[in-house]
Amino acid sequence: MLAAMSRGEIVQWLVRSGWSPDRNIEEKARAFLSDAVAESEKEGFPVALFEAAERFVASYGLLELVHPSDPVSRLVTNPTGGYDGDFREIAELSRELGKRLFRVGYDLPDGAIMIVAEDGGFYGVHHTGTYFLGADACAFFRNWARGDRRSV
């Protein structure tokens, strides 16, 4: 049952999706992170890299996580994937929250963008609103899978 997903069950789900506890794609991630920064500059809303974003993408980046109970739903952890206007929305949310933010992925078919904050918290921006998805990566993955989100 999704509501009761333990940390171990989250890890198992991630492992089934190609992740491992020692996964480090730092070199490959650097190129994707640089592309995301360049894209933000092109849109006129530049973002800066910070440790939490680099760490998340090095460990979890470039995965496609199929929802545990809905094979149509996917969480894609690619900082270059998103939509026109994302960086404007990220800049607005950054001002509202008073912290730096960085896009780390998106989900399908809903089209929400996933964002990590410099303090390690995670947010989702969807056409229905902006949501807090957890204070760390495990909570983020669990809350995304459960659909448990708190409006910001």
Task: Find out whether 12 and 144 touch, Cβ atoms under 8 Å.
Answer: no
Query: What's the CA gap between 25 and 4, in Å, rounded?
Result: 30
Residue 24 has pLDDT above 50, yes or no: yes
Determine the pLDDT at residue 76. Answer: 96
Helix (H) or strand (E) holding 37: helix 26-43
Considering only CA atoms, which of 121, 30, 43, 25 is closest in space to residue 82?
43
Query: What's the CA gap between 51 and 28, in Å, rounded?
Result: 16
Prediction pTM value:
0.93
Query: What's the CA gap between 125 and 89, in Å, rounded?
Result: 8
**What is the DSSP-derived secondary structure letter of residue 3?**
G
For 89-129, how does the pLDDT look when each residue is reduced to its tens digit (9 = 90+)?
Answer: 999 999 999 999 999 999 999 889 999 999 999 999 998 99
Determine the pLDDT at residue 90. Answer: 95
Inter-CA distances, 50 with 87, 103, 120, 150, Å: 16, 12, 10, 24
Which single residue is written with the structure tokens 């989100």? 149
- Residue 116, SS3 per DSSP: strand
Rg (alpha carbons) of the chain, rounded to whole number: 14
Query: What's the CA gap between 91 and 52, in Å, rounded?
Result: 17
Q: Whole domain around residue 9: which residue ranges?
A: 2-151
- The tally of domains found in the chain comes to 1
Calculate the average pLDDT of the chain: 93
Q: How confident is the model at residue 151 (pLDDT cuts 50, 70, 90)?
A: confident
Task: Find out whether 131 and 150 touch, Cβ atoms under 8 Å.
Answer: yes
Average pLDDT, stretch 69-73? 92
Q: How confident is the model at residue 2 (pLDDT cuts 50, 70, 90)?
A: low
Query: What's the CA gap between 101 and 97, in Å, rounded?
Result: 9
